[in-house]
Amino acid sequence: MSKPHILVTGAGGFIGGHLVKSMLEQGHQVRAVDKKPQWQWYQRFPEAENLTLNLEDKDACVQAVNGTDWIYNLAADMGGMGFIELNKGLCMLSVLINTHMLMAARHCGATRLFYSSSACVYAGYKQKETDNPGLKEEDAYPADPEDGYGWEKLFSERMCRHFMEDFGLQTRVARYHNVYGPHGTFDGGREKAPAAICRKVIAAKLGGAKEIEIWGDGLQTRSFQYIDDCLHGTQSIMESGIIEPINLGSAEMVSINQLVDLVEDIAGIKLKRSYKLDAPKGVRGRSSDNTLIKKKLGWEPSVTLRTGLEKTYAWILDQMKSGNSKDSVVNRF
């Protein structure tokens, strides 16, 4: 069989850019779509068909989908906790993208659609303790997701399910848990914790500062998944027969203080910690229970947090030494 023609939405973003690269390396014909001007894409590859389209518009979705076979729908208006807690309305508007992408996929005859959901769909009452045992797929119900962003993700999961049940469109849904790595946002307010901590430690080291600001008390816990593991897991889920939402994350849970410890050790520096207790900080404890994906696919992450942080730190250090920022790291023509 010939390889499916791939559409990647959100291709100008962090995960999308890496996924386009991976699909091209595997010999796929790839259409890459994002609403940002292409000079703002984190990675751009001339081998792909690169289109700038606002996928909140139905006609744009039809243009993006037409002639493709498999869709990786990663497009969303999102960022780290500092963004999603303060921009709930913008996060909810991503439902337009997901609605119109499903409608376009059905209309144009695409055969399979992958939807990138989030651990933010999980019930808040399951995440009140730092010693989180790991969230299982069934912990999304009874529903109590992250306000705004989490509700939109949970609703879009249900749309994928019903488009498969009612119209026969094969959908696959992965709940991403904190993906990090090079070629992504590290400043400007949309960055996630690993990139933010790397940036702050690097800035202190380059500038001679002795202190680092941490959002919250540093005791809140998370697990973080390196981009290479995310890509492998994403493709495995897309190619599988798994029709229910499934976790895609790491079970290696650490506190934010421990995350800072790791980055300080990589940098060879020790900083005084200033805790900003009124900053957005999300749930108290969150980690991924990977029992189901191990059973279904025999998959688990292979990159340790230390190894992934070393690679991420080195890339952000290079960007900062070069004077790059969230708007200048993206020139990859």
Structure tokens, 252: 């290696």
Q: What is the largest CA-CA distance in the chain?
A: 60
Q: Cβ atoms within 10 A of the Cβ of 265, count?
A: 14
Is residue 233 within 8 A of residue 174, CB to CB? The reply is yes
Structure tokens, 198: 């790397």
> From the candidates 149, 176, 180, 226, which is the catalytic residue?
149
DSSP classification of residue 40: G
User: Is 149 designated active site?
Assistant: yes
Report the alpha-carbon distance of residue 239 to residue 297 in Å, rounded: 10
Is residue 22 within 8 A of residue 313, CB to CB? The reply is no
CA angle 224, 230, 235 (to 5 degrees): 160
Contacts 24+ apart (CB under 8 A), 305-309: 305/224, 305/226, 305/250, 305/252, 305/254, 305/259, 305/262, 306/262, 306/266, 307/226, 308/180, 308/181, 308/194, 308/224, 308/226, 308/227, 309/194, 309/198, 309/262, 309/263, 309/266
Is residue 223 within 8 A of residue 249, CB to CB? The reply is yes
Sign of the alpha-carbon dihedral angle for 120, 121, 127, 128: positive
- The string over 41-76, giving b where at least 16 C-beta atoms fall within 10 Å of a residue's C-beta and e elsewhere, is bbbbbeebebbebebbeeebbbbbbeebbbbbbbbb
Q: Which residues are catalytic?
A: 149
